[in-house]
Amino acid sequence: MKLHSLITLVFLSLWQVTIAAPVNLLTLGNLTKPSDDPFYTPKDGYEKLKLGEVINYRKVTHKIGIVAFEEKVQAVYQFLVRSEDSHKQPNAIVTTVIIPHNADTSKILSYQVAVDAPNVDCAPSYALQLGSDPGTWITTQVEQLLSEAGLYEGWIVVIPDFLGPKATFAAGYQAAYATLNSLKAVVASGDITGVDPKAQIALWGYSGGSQPSAWGAALAPTYAPDLNIIGAAVGGILIAPKHIANYTVGGFFAGLIINAINGLGNEYPELKKYAQDNIYPDVETEFFAPAHECLVESILRTPWTSWDQLTPLGVDIMDSPVVDNVTGINNLLNLNANPKVPLFFYNSKNDEIIPPTDADELYQKWCDLGTSIEYRQDSLSEHITQAIVGSGDAFVWLKDRFNGVQQTGCKKIESTTNLFNFNAVSGLSSIVTDALETILEFQIGPSSPSQHPVPTNVTITHVGNSSASSTSSTSTSSSTSNSFLGSIISAIF
């Protein structure tokens, strides 16, 4: 068995152990799932609101965190935002706004999570909270290790439910519109969050989270020109659904294809009907089961599935006019737009989910159109490990954008691994240090106030109603720990 296959199986086995753990180890309170939560349903007449307007908002009273470890941030809000689907029909999406202690209100990191499931109950706004169904948080809370690094920098982190109320996994326009309208709402929320209306914005996403990030960066100049987006880091890039389906079918991650067909079918009814009419009757229940599952459960249920097991058409089903049309619309290579801000790509040549040639082609196309891209590709990792291996570089690249470092032109760097270079080591050192501080229950954020603090006229209630004395004590400990842990981690790396 190849090393990367072994790593993948170990990761998924750990997930199985986790969801089998006693519920009381992970549940801190009863959470209402999005499908049963009235907050997710917009009020009558919301369609008349402008794109990006806040329909409703609330402070999150449940703790957020990573597995069983609380993230001690200053505040968390959820906004219900007026957006639209791929067909420009009105909808409402929820976005989560996380404010660290000593926040810099002039910097926003919009982190798009790889939800990869056609089920609204897998939404990050729910999965981020401790006590959510373990099946929902395995990707969201683990990925929070990455976005959390931004919180420690003082950045306000925004995590949108970009799949929308229909859970349209793999639908590019829906994902981009939701991401951009989420950001419109956040930069206009100064009276609630203290966010600077001219705040700099960076996008970050890996795998399923790369789609809204890349599409959002490409569509922003025309769809949301007032947003001050300064760059986007995307890895394991979901570019062409049809290419991915043909590349992944029959492999361990074949369940992703079924999830994507279900997700696109939620957005394009003609595709759902075509699937219903052409799959074997005895697999119909299993084929549409992802509507009630999240990512890892779907993958573990249908590994190594082939087209011949699903449909009498076999592989020819991918060449039907309906499938070809829907996947073509959602192929980023076919989008008649390109980002006007710098990008960072990180991918693996051994990716067993995303065809490496897709990223190469997108890189060349966008570079030819004038987009500046730094592209790092390694030959040792696979899809899951690249999410970790490439994150250090991505994080440092994002810091450079916020610090005003200029990037021009295009460059592609191929290496054995993206892990061993100065930026990768520095970035991963920060990510690991921050994770350890969270485990040790230090408050999250810089140790000193930023030059762009939350305005004094904005009142933010601390998560968990922390007292002033405990906040002050934690702040001192956090400052000390940051220096100490940082030294240890830097020495290890």
444 located within any domain: no
Q: State the Cα–Cα distance between residues 298 and 55, nearest whole angstrom.
A: 33
Catalytic residue (choose from 351, 358, 378, 434):
351
Tell me, yes or no, if 393 is annotated catalytic: no
The answer on 168 and 41 residing in a single domain is yes
Choose one of 328, 350, 377: the last residue of a domain. Answer: 328
Q: What is the pTM of this model?
A: 0.89
Q: Closest by alpha carbon to 350, among 383, 375, 374?
A: 383
- CATH code assigned at 274: 1.10.260.130
Query: Is 442 a member of any domain?
Result: no
Catalytic residue flag (residue 121): no
161 included as an active-site residue: no
Q: Is residue 220 part of a domain?
A: yes
Last residue of a domain, one of 402, 437, 472: 437
Q: Is residue 233 part of a domain?
A: yes
pLDDT, tens digit only, all 493 positions of the chain: 444 444 444 444 444 444 444 443 444 457 999 999 999 999 999 999 999 999 999 999 999 998 889 999 999 999 999 999 999 999 999 999 999 999 999 999 999 999 999 999 999 999 999 999 887 777 888 899 999 999 999 999 999 999 999 999 999 999 999 999 999 999 999 999 999 999 999 999 999 999 999 999 999 999 999 999 999 999 999 999 999 999 999 999 999 999 999 999 999 999 999 999 999 999 999 999 999 999 999 999 999 999 999 999 999 999 999 999 999 999 999 999 999 999 999 999 999 999 999 999 999 999 999 999 999 999 999 999 999 999 999 999 999 999 999 999 999 999 999 988 999 999 999 999 999 999 999 999 998 787 777 776 676 654 443 333 333 333 333 443 444 454 444 444 4
| Same-domain pairing of 112 and 227 | yes
HSE toward the beta carbon, residue 356, CA cutoff 13 A: 17
In this structure, are residues 132 and 37 in contact, taking their beta carbons and an 8 Å threshold?
no
Q: List the one residue out of 388, 404, 418, 410 whose CA is nearest residue 344.
A: 410
Q: Are residues 59 and 198 in the same domain?
A: yes
Q: How many domains does the chain have?
A: 2
Name the active-site residue from 4, 101, 383, 462: 383
Residue type, position 303, single letter:
P
Structure-token match 């519109």, residue found: 177
Burial group, residue 423, by CB count within 10 angstroms (0-12, 13-18, 19+): middle
Buried b (16+ CB within 10 A) or exposed e, 192-231: bbbbbeebbbbbbbbbbbbbbbbbbbbbbeebbeebebbb
Residue finishing a domain among 328, 357, 392: 328
Q: Where in the sequence is the domain holding 356, given as residue range(s)?
A: 3-240+341-437
List the beta bridge partners of residue 200: 107, 228
Q: Are residues 15 and 134 in the same domain?
A: yes
Residues 77 and 201 in one domain: yes
In a domain, 367, yes or no: yes
Residue tagged active-site, from 182, 207, 391, 430: 207
130 shares its domain with 153: yes
Residue 106 tokens read as 């002039």
Task: Determine, yes or no, domain membership for 36.
Answer: yes
Asked if residue 14 is part of any domain, the answer here is: yes
The answer to whether residue 472 sits within a structural domain is no
